[in-house]
Amino acid sequence: MNLKNLDTKEISRLIVNLKAELELRAKTEKARLVDEIREKSAALNISIDELMSDAKKKPRKQRGKATKAKAKRKTSAVKPKYRNPMNPAETWSGRGRKPKWVVALLESGRRLEDFLIQQV
Quick check: is 2 in a domain? no
Domain boundary among 57, 72, 93: 57
Helix (H) or strand (E) holding 82: strand 82-83
Instruction: List per-residue pLDDT tens for the chain, 120 residues long.
Output: 788 888 999 999 999 999 999 999 999 999 999 999 989 988 988 888 888 887 777 666 665 555 566 677 888 888 999 999 999 999 999 999 999 999 999 999 999 998 999 876
Q: Indicate the burial class of 114 (C-beta count within 10 angstroms; 0-12, 13-18, 19 or more).
A: exposed
Quick check: is 90 in a domain? yes
Quick check: is 120 in a domain? no
Quick check: is 109 in a domain? yes
2-22 pLDDT per residue, tens: 888 889 999 999 999 999 999
In which domain, by residue range, is 104 found? 82-115
Q: Would you call 56 helix, strand, or coil by DSSP?
A: helix
- Residues 81 and 92: beta-carbon distance below 8 Å: yes
Quick check: is 14 in a domain? yes
Domain boundary among 41, 57, 73: 57
Verdict on whether the full-model pTM lies above 0.75: no
What is the total count of domains within the chain? 2
> On the CB side of 105, how many CA atoms lie within 13 Å of its CA?
18
Residues 83, 89, 92, 96: what is their CA dihedral angle, to the nearest 10 degrees? Answer: -150
Q: Would you call 110 helix, strand, or coil by DSSP?
A: coil
